[in-house]
Amino acid sequence: MARRRKGRPVNGILVVDKPAGISSNDVVQQAKRLFGAQKVGHTGSLDPLATGVLPLCFGEATKFSQYLLDASKTYWTRIRLGVSTETGDADGEVIAQVDATAITQTQVSDALETFVGEIEQIPSMYSALKHQGQPLYKLARQGIEVERAPRTVTIYSAELLQFAEAYIELRVHCSKGTYIRSLAEDLGAALGCGGHVSALRRLAAGPYAEAQAVTLEQVSEIGDPQEMDALLLPVASAVGSWPSVRLHEDTAHYVRQGQPVQVAHAPTHGWVQIFESAEEDRFLGVGEVLTDGRIAPRRLVASD
Protein backbone atom coordinates (compact mmCIF):
# COMPACT_ATOMS: atom_id res chain seq x y z
CA MET A 1 0.00 0.00 0.00
CA ALA A 2 1.36 3.43 -0.96
CA ARG A 3 2.23 5.71 1.94
CA ARG A 4 -0.14 8.64 2.25
CA ARG A 5 1.55 12.02 2.22
CA LYS A 6 1.14 14.25 5.24
CA GLY A 7 -0.33 17.71 4.73
CA ARG A 8 -2.73 19.46 2.40
CA PRO A 9 -2.75 18.94 -1.39
CA VAL A 10 -1.72 22.51 -2.22
CA ASN A 11 -1.01 23.36 -5.88
CA GLY A 12 0.54 26.51 -7.30
CA ILE A 13 3.64 28.69 -7.24
CA LEU A 14 4.72 31.00 -4.45
CA VAL A 15 7.32 33.63 -5.30
CA VAL A 16 9.30 34.13 -2.10
CA ASP A 17 11.59 37.06 -1.37
CA LYS A 18 14.36 34.98 0.17
CA PRO A 19 16.12 36.62 3.12
CA ALA A 20 19.88 36.53 3.61
CA GLY A 21 21.43 34.05 6.00
CA ILE A 22 19.39 30.93 5.23
CA SER A 23 19.53 28.32 2.49
CA SER A 24 16.96 27.78 -0.23
CA ASN A 25 16.06 24.46 1.39
CA ASP A 26 15.38 26.31 4.66
CA VAL A 27 12.88 28.47 2.76
CA VAL A 28 11.23 25.37 1.31
CA GLN A 29 10.84 23.77 4.73
CA GLN A 30 9.43 26.93 6.30
CA ALA A 31 6.92 27.40 3.47
CA LYS A 32 5.89 23.75 3.63
CA ARG A 33 5.21 24.10 7.35
CA LEU A 34 3.35 27.42 7.04
CA PHE A 35 1.05 26.09 4.32
CA GLY A 36 0.75 22.62 5.81
CA ALA A 37 1.50 21.41 2.28
CA GLN A 38 2.22 17.89 1.12
CA LYS A 39 4.90 18.70 -1.43
CA VAL A 40 7.08 21.78 -2.06
CA GLY A 41 10.27 22.31 -4.05
CA HIS A 42 12.37 25.26 -5.18
CA THR A 43 13.47 26.10 -8.71
CA GLY A 44 17.17 26.76 -8.35
CA SER A 45 19.21 27.43 -5.24
CA LEU A 46 20.25 30.83 -3.97
CA ASP A 47 23.32 31.03 -1.73
CA PRO A 48 22.69 31.90 1.93
CA LEU A 49 24.29 35.31 1.21
CA ALA A 50 21.78 36.03 -1.57
CA THR A 51 18.31 37.50 -1.32
CA GLY A 52 15.43 37.88 -3.73
CA VAL A 53 13.23 35.92 -6.08
CA LEU A 54 12.91 32.23 -5.22
CA PRO A 55 9.87 30.59 -6.86
CA LEU A 56 8.54 27.62 -4.88
CA CYS A 57 6.48 24.95 -6.60
CA PHE A 58 3.68 23.33 -4.61
CA GLY A 59 2.07 20.01 -5.49
CA GLU A 60 1.32 19.66 -9.20
CA ALA A 61 3.53 22.67 -9.97
CA THR A 62 6.60 20.57 -9.12
CA LYS A 63 6.05 18.78 -12.44
CA PHE A 64 6.99 22.01 -14.22
CA SER A 65 9.88 23.14 -12.02
CA GLN A 66 12.44 22.05 -14.62
CA TYR A 67 11.22 24.73 -17.01
CA LEU A 68 11.91 27.35 -14.35
CA LEU A 69 15.32 25.83 -13.62
CA ASP A 70 16.11 26.22 -17.33
CA ALA A 71 14.89 29.83 -17.48
CA SER A 72 17.12 32.91 -17.54
CA LYS A 73 17.77 34.90 -14.36
CA THR A 74 18.43 38.56 -13.55
CA TYR A 75 20.62 39.66 -10.63
CA TRP A 76 21.79 42.80 -8.90
CA THR A 77 25.20 42.41 -7.34
CA ARG A 78 27.78 44.48 -5.51
CA ILE A 79 31.37 43.42 -6.14
CA ARG A 80 34.34 44.37 -3.98
CA LEU A 81 37.43 44.76 -6.13
CA GLY A 82 40.89 44.15 -4.73
CA VAL A 83 39.84 41.50 -2.23
CA SER A 84 39.70 37.80 -3.09
CA THR A 85 38.02 35.32 -0.78
CA GLU A 86 38.11 31.56 -0.48
CA THR A 87 34.47 31.23 -1.55
CA GLY A 88 34.21 34.11 -4.03
CA ASP A 89 31.74 35.91 -1.77
CA ALA A 90 31.68 37.83 1.51
CA ASP A 91 31.14 34.66 3.56
CA GLY A 92 34.61 33.34 2.78
CA GLU A 93 37.99 34.05 4.33
CA VAL A 94 40.15 36.64 2.60
CA ILE A 95 42.98 34.94 0.70
CA ALA A 96 44.45 37.91 -1.19
CA GLN A 97 44.21 41.68 -1.04
CA VAL A 98 45.63 44.41 -3.28
CA ASP A 99 45.03 48.13 -3.70
CA ALA A 100 42.30 48.55 -6.34
CA THR A 101 41.74 52.30 -5.91
CA ALA A 102 43.57 53.04 -9.17
CA ILE A 103 41.05 51.01 -11.19
CA THR A 104 38.94 53.36 -13.31
CA GLN A 105 35.31 53.15 -14.38
CA THR A 106 36.44 52.92 -18.01
CA GLN A 107 38.61 49.92 -17.21
CA VAL A 108 35.70 48.22 -15.48
CA SER A 109 33.32 48.94 -18.39
CA ASP A 110 35.82 47.68 -20.96
CA ALA A 111 36.52 44.49 -18.99
CA LEU A 112 32.81 43.90 -18.40
CA GLU A 113 32.09 43.97 -22.14
CA THR A 114 34.33 40.94 -22.64
CA PHE A 115 32.00 38.85 -20.50
CA VAL A 116 28.82 39.63 -22.43
CA GLY A 117 27.73 36.80 -24.71
CA GLU A 118 28.58 33.12 -24.55
CA ILE A 119 31.42 32.49 -22.11
CA GLU A 120 32.94 29.63 -20.16
CA GLN A 121 32.94 29.51 -16.37
CA ILE A 122 34.63 27.11 -14.01
CA PRO A 123 32.15 26.43 -11.18
CA SER A 124 33.30 27.41 -7.71
CA MET A 125 34.25 24.67 -5.26
CA TYR A 126 31.67 26.32 -3.01
CA SER A 127 28.78 25.80 -5.43
CA ALA A 128 25.97 23.27 -5.05
CA LEU A 129 27.10 21.43 -8.19
CA LYS A 130 27.61 17.75 -7.41
CA HIS A 131 30.68 15.57 -7.88
CA GLN A 132 30.02 11.82 -7.55
CA GLY A 133 26.83 12.60 -5.65
CA GLN A 134 28.41 15.09 -3.23
CA PRO A 135 27.82 18.86 -3.45
CA LEU A 136 31.10 20.63 -4.16
CA TYR A 137 30.72 22.93 -1.17
CA LYS A 138 30.69 19.92 1.19
CA LEU A 139 33.92 18.66 -0.33
CA ALA A 140 35.44 22.14 -0.10
CA ARG A 141 34.64 22.34 3.61
CA GLN A 142 36.57 19.08 4.05
CA GLY A 143 39.57 20.64 2.31
CA ILE A 144 39.00 18.56 -0.83
CA GLU A 145 39.31 20.20 -4.24
CA VAL A 146 38.32 18.38 -7.43
CA GLU A 147 38.81 19.31 -11.05
CA ARG A 148 35.78 21.07 -12.54
CA ALA A 149 35.15 21.21 -16.26
CA PRO A 150 34.34 24.65 -17.69
CA ARG A 151 30.65 25.21 -18.40
CA THR A 152 29.28 27.31 -21.23
CA VAL A 153 26.86 30.00 -20.05
CA THR A 154 25.46 33.17 -21.60
CA ILE A 155 25.55 36.68 -20.18
CA TYR A 156 22.80 38.45 -22.09
CA SER A 157 23.60 41.82 -20.55
CA ALA A 158 25.80 43.22 -17.77
CA GLU A 159 25.01 46.82 -16.90
CA LEU A 160 27.33 48.85 -14.69
CA LEU A 161 25.00 50.66 -12.31
CA GLN A 162 27.49 52.28 -9.95
CA PHE A 163 31.23 52.72 -9.57
CA ALA A 164 32.63 54.00 -6.28
CA GLU A 165 36.26 53.44 -5.36
CA ALA A 166 36.74 49.68 -5.09
CA TYR A 167 33.03 48.80 -5.24
CA ILE A 168 30.92 48.28 -8.34
CA GLU A 169 27.25 47.44 -8.74
CA LEU A 170 25.96 45.44 -11.70
CA ARG A 171 22.66 44.29 -13.14
CA VAL A 172 23.22 40.96 -14.88
CA HIS A 173 20.79 39.05 -17.10
CA CYS A 174 22.12 35.56 -17.69
CA SER A 175 21.33 32.00 -18.65
CA LYS A 176 20.74 29.13 -16.25
CA GLY A 177 23.86 27.80 -14.60
CA THR A 178 25.64 31.16 -14.43
CA TYR A 179 27.55 31.76 -11.21
CA ILE A 180 27.70 35.43 -10.27
CA ARG A 181 30.52 34.74 -7.81
CA SER A 182 32.53 33.26 -10.70
CA LEU A 183 31.76 36.36 -12.76
CA ALA A 184 33.03 38.54 -9.89
CA GLU A 185 36.23 36.50 -9.59
CA ASP A 186 36.83 36.46 -13.35
CA LEU A 187 36.14 40.18 -13.68
CA GLY A 188 38.55 40.87 -10.81
CA ALA A 189 41.18 38.70 -12.51
CA ALA A 190 40.70 40.56 -15.81
CA LEU A 191 41.29 43.83 -13.97
CA GLY A 192 44.37 42.39 -12.27
CA CYS A 193 43.12 42.99 -8.76
CA GLY A 194 40.80 40.13 -7.82
CA GLY A 195 37.30 40.53 -6.46
CA HIS A 196 34.37 38.92 -4.72
CA VAL A 197 30.60 39.28 -4.35
CA SER A 198 29.76 41.37 -1.31
CA ALA A 199 25.99 41.39 -1.92
CA LEU A 200 23.66 39.57 -4.30
CA ARG A 201 19.96 39.81 -5.05
CA ARG A 202 17.97 37.90 -7.65
CA LEU A 203 15.59 40.29 -9.36
CA ALA A 204 13.85 37.81 -11.66
CA ALA A 205 13.69 34.10 -12.40
CA GLY A 206 12.01 33.18 -15.66
CA PRO A 207 8.55 34.81 -15.70
CA TYR A 208 8.68 35.88 -12.05
CA ALA A 209 9.95 39.24 -10.80
CA GLU A 210 10.59 40.74 -7.37
CA ALA A 211 7.36 42.78 -7.53
CA GLN A 212 5.48 39.47 -7.17
CA ALA A 213 7.56 38.23 -4.25
CA VAL A 214 6.36 37.96 -0.65
CA THR A 215 8.42 37.43 2.47
CA LEU A 216 8.02 34.47 4.77
CA GLU A 217 7.03 36.96 7.48
CA GLN A 218 4.15 38.22 5.32
CA VAL A 219 2.99 34.65 4.78
CA SER A 220 3.23 33.88 8.48
CA GLU A 221 1.16 36.93 9.42
CA ILE A 222 -1.81 35.57 7.47
CA GLY A 223 -2.01 32.63 9.83
CA ASP A 224 -4.73 30.55 8.17
CA PRO A 225 -3.11 28.14 5.67
CA GLN A 226 -6.16 28.18 3.39
CA GLU A 227 -6.10 31.99 3.25
CA MET A 228 -2.42 31.75 2.32
CA ASP A 229 -3.47 29.88 -0.82
CA ALA A 230 -4.56 33.21 -2.30
CA LEU A 231 -0.86 34.09 -2.58
CA LEU A 232 -0.22 31.18 -4.94
CA LEU A 233 0.12 31.84 -8.64
CA PRO A 234 -1.46 29.33 -11.06
CA VAL A 235 0.56 26.27 -12.06
CA ALA A 236 0.29 27.43 -15.69
CA SER A 237 2.23 30.59 -14.88
CA ALA A 238 5.43 28.52 -14.93
CA VAL A 239 5.09 28.30 -18.72
CA GLY A 240 2.93 31.37 -19.18
CA SER A 241 5.10 32.79 -21.98
CA TRP A 242 4.60 29.69 -24.16
CA PRO A 243 1.99 29.62 -26.93
CA SER A 244 -1.22 27.91 -25.91
CA VAL A 245 -3.89 25.70 -27.44
CA ARG A 246 -7.43 25.15 -26.20
CA LEU A 247 -9.18 21.84 -26.62
CA HIS A 248 -12.82 20.81 -26.56
CA GLU A 249 -13.82 18.26 -23.93
CA ASP A 250 -13.70 15.28 -26.31
CA THR A 251 -10.20 16.12 -27.57
CA ALA A 252 -9.01 16.86 -24.04
CA HIS A 253 -10.04 13.32 -23.05
CA TYR A 254 -7.53 11.82 -25.49
CA VAL A 255 -4.79 14.14 -24.27
CA ARG A 256 -5.41 12.98 -20.70
CA GLN A 257 -4.88 9.43 -21.96
CA GLY A 258 -1.47 10.49 -23.28
CA GLN A 259 -2.50 10.43 -26.95
CA PRO A 260 -1.40 13.02 -29.55
CA VAL A 261 -4.25 15.05 -31.04
CA GLN A 262 -4.81 17.26 -34.04
CA VAL A 263 -5.65 20.86 -33.15
CA ALA A 264 -6.82 23.43 -35.68
CA HIS A 265 -4.76 26.63 -35.93
CA ALA A 266 -2.14 25.30 -33.52
CA PRO A 267 1.54 26.34 -33.66
CA THR A 268 3.55 24.35 -36.18
CA HIS A 269 6.52 23.57 -33.95
CA GLY A 270 7.85 23.77 -30.41
CA TRP A 271 6.16 23.40 -27.04
CA VAL A 272 2.73 24.64 -26.00
CA GLN A 273 0.49 25.06 -22.99
CA ILE A 274 -2.63 22.90 -23.21
CA PHE A 275 -5.98 24.06 -21.84
CA GLU A 276 -9.42 22.51 -21.88
CA SER A 277 -12.00 25.07 -22.96
CA ALA A 278 -14.97 25.24 -20.63
CA GLU A 279 -16.71 28.00 -18.72
CA GLU A 280 -13.25 28.63 -17.32
CA ASP A 281 -10.14 27.37 -19.11
CA ARG A 282 -8.56 24.45 -17.27
CA PHE A 283 -4.81 23.93 -17.51
CA LEU A 284 -4.01 20.36 -18.55
CA GLY A 285 -0.25 20.57 -18.93
CA VAL A 286 2.28 21.02 -21.70
CA GLY A 287 2.81 19.32 -25.02
CA GLU A 288 5.08 19.26 -28.04
CA VAL A 289 4.16 19.75 -31.68
CA LEU A 290 5.09 16.65 -33.68
CA THR A 291 6.38 16.67 -37.25
CA ASP A 292 2.92 15.70 -38.53
CA GLY A 293 1.35 18.70 -36.76
CA ARG A 294 -0.31 16.79 -33.93
CA ILE A 295 0.25 17.86 -30.36
CA ALA A 296 1.66 15.21 -28.06
CA PRO A 297 1.15 15.64 -24.30
CA ARG A 298 4.47 15.62 -22.46
CA ARG A 299 3.65 16.58 -18.88
CA LEU A 300 0.14 16.74 -17.47
CA VAL A 301 -1.40 17.82 -14.21
CA ALA A 302 -3.43 15.25 -12.30
CA SER A 303 -7.11 15.19 -13.06
CA ASP A 304 -9.55 16.27 -10.37
Residues identified as active-site: 47
Phi and psi angles of residue 245, each rounded to the nearest 5 degrees, phi first = -130, 150
Distance of alpha carbon 157 from alpha carbon 168, whole angstroms: 16
Distance separating alpha carbons of residues 233 and 269, to the nearest angstrom = 27
In sequence order, the 6+-apart residues with CB closer than 8 A to the CB of 140 are 87, 125, 126
- 22, amino acid identity: I
Q: What φ, ψ does residue 197 adopt, rounded to 5°? A: -80, 120
Instruction: Evaluate the CA torsion angle 225, 231, 236, 239 in order and state its sign.
Output: negative
DSSP 8-state secondary structure symbol assigned to residue 115: T
The Cα–Cα gap between 24 and 153 comes to: 22
Q: State the Cα–Cα distance between residues 80 and 166, nearest whole angstrom.
A: 6
Alpha carbon distance 101, 120 (integer Å): 28
